[in-house]
Structures are given as C-alpha cells and as structure tokens.
C-alpha cells in the first residue's frame, strides 16, 4: 500500500520572476524593494503598484474602493459582485431559448400551478338540502338562517295567491332548513 506522502507529493515550479532583479518601490524617492503589490485604481484592478512595507501600509490606509461613487453605483457594484461579475439572467428570457429546450415532462414551465386542494365535501345527507337552500359547504348557522328567511319570504304561498307550487316549494325549503340545522347543532355545541 502506498503512503499518504507519496500520493500528495507536490512538485516545485520555480517562479520566473524570482530570478529577475527585485522591484524597487514605486513611491517617489524610495529605494526599498517593492515586495507588496497594490492595485493602481478601481478601473484597473489587474495593474499594480509595487511598494515597500511602509508605503503599502500608507497606501492601504488611504485606499477607498467606493470613493466618489453614488449610492446607486455602489449598490450596482455590489450586485455585480454577487455573481462574480458574470452575466446572469432568468431562464427563458433569451428569445429562442424556450423553443430550444425540449421539456416533455413540463419541469421547466415558467408558471407552475399549485394543485388546489379539493373543497371539503358536504356529508352525503346534506348535499340535497344545501342545494335546495343554495348554500355551499362548510356553512355557518347564521348563513343558513339568513338564507332560509330570504327563501321563505320569496316562496311563501300568501305572496303567490295561495299557489300549490309555492306551497310545495316552501315545504321543501322548510325540510332542507331543518335537516341542515340538525346537522349543524352538534358541531356548534
């Protein structure tokens, strides 16, 4: 079995700049070696000044990346940094991208619709009485009372000149009201 040291062996690659003559500090009048790099400006972060330790400390104390920027520019800069300054956009906004993607299972659909939970169904014994009263389930006792009064007033035989059809309709409404109120009584306490 091979040892761990044999598997993690690293090879030294010499730095070609190491053999070159040492840099001199870029601060005017300084002859110390420039061993520390500092960016030249916010716009040129890949170009550097080379300073000695004393002058790089002075440069760092004075460096303010956001100096001279408005709050909107600072916010835009921070937003660009969240994606490492790479372009980013929502999927499906590049014109023909939607047509280029085959999505037979519909996994990439823009608008996902959540399945609506099934409405609570009324007990089978109450479906017909609720239909007669024109109410849905679940229903409150107060709603049943209001609806019953409105239907009883509208279908009362005295309002229809003693019509037998109105009398039958009122009997049906009364029976439906009684059935729903019986069913709701235990539930309401």
pLDDT digits over 7-20, tens only? 666 666 666 665 66
Name the band, by pLDDT with cuts 50, 70 and 90, for residue 108: low
Lowest mean pLDDT among 10-14, 91-95, 148-152: 91-95
Helix or strand holding residue 117 (H, E):
none
H helices, E strands: number in the chain: 7, 2
CATH code (residue 180): 1.10.287.110
Residue 48 lies in a domain: yes
Query: Do 155 and 170 touch, CB atoms closer than 8 A?
Result: yes
Residue 101 lies in a domain: no
pLDDT digits over 113-137, tens only? 555 555 577 788 888 998 898 888 8
Residue 89 lies in a domain: no
Residue 104 lies in a domain: no
3-class secondary structure, 153? helix
Residue 168 lies in a domain: yes
C-alpha pair distances (Å), 149 with each of 76, 143, 167: 64, 10, 15
Count of domains observed in the chain:
2
Residue 48: what are its φ and ψ, rounded to 5°?
A: -125, 150
Residue 4 lies in a domain: no
pTM of the model: 0.37
**Which structural domain range is residue 175 located in?**
124-188
What length is written for the chain? 189
By CB neighbour count within 10 A (0-12 exposed, 13-18 middle, 19+ buried), where does 144 fall? buried
Query: Do 50 and 35 touch, CB atoms closer than 8 A?
Result: yes
Residue 169 lies in a domain: yes
pLDDT digits over 28-59, tens only? 999 999 999 999 998 888 899 999 999 999 99
Residue 92 lies in a domain: no
């Amino acid at each position: 079995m091979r040892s761990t040291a044999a598997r993690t062996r690293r090879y030294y690659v010499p730095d070609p700049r190491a053999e070159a003559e040492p840099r001199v500090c870029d601060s005017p009048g300084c002859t110390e070696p420039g061993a520390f790099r500092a960016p030249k400006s916010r716009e040129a972060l890949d170009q550097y000044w080379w300073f000695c330790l004393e002058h790089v400390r002075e440069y760092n104390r004075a460096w303010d990346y956001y100096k001279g920027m408005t709050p909107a520019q600072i916010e835009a800069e921070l937003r660009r940094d969240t994606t490492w300054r790479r372009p980013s956009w929502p999927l499906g906004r590049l014109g023909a991208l939607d047509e280029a993607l085959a999505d037979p299972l519909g996994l990439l659909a823009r608008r996902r619709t959540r399945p609506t939970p099934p409405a609570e169904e009324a007990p089978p014994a109450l479906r017909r009485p609720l239909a007669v009263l024109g109410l849905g389930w679940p229903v409150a006792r107060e709603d049943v009372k209001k609806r019953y009064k409105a239907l009883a007033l509208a279908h009362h035989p005295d309002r229809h000149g003693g019509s037998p059809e109105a009398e039958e309709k009122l009997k049906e409404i009364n029976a439906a009201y009684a059935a729903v109120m019986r069913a709701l009584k235990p539930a309401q306490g």
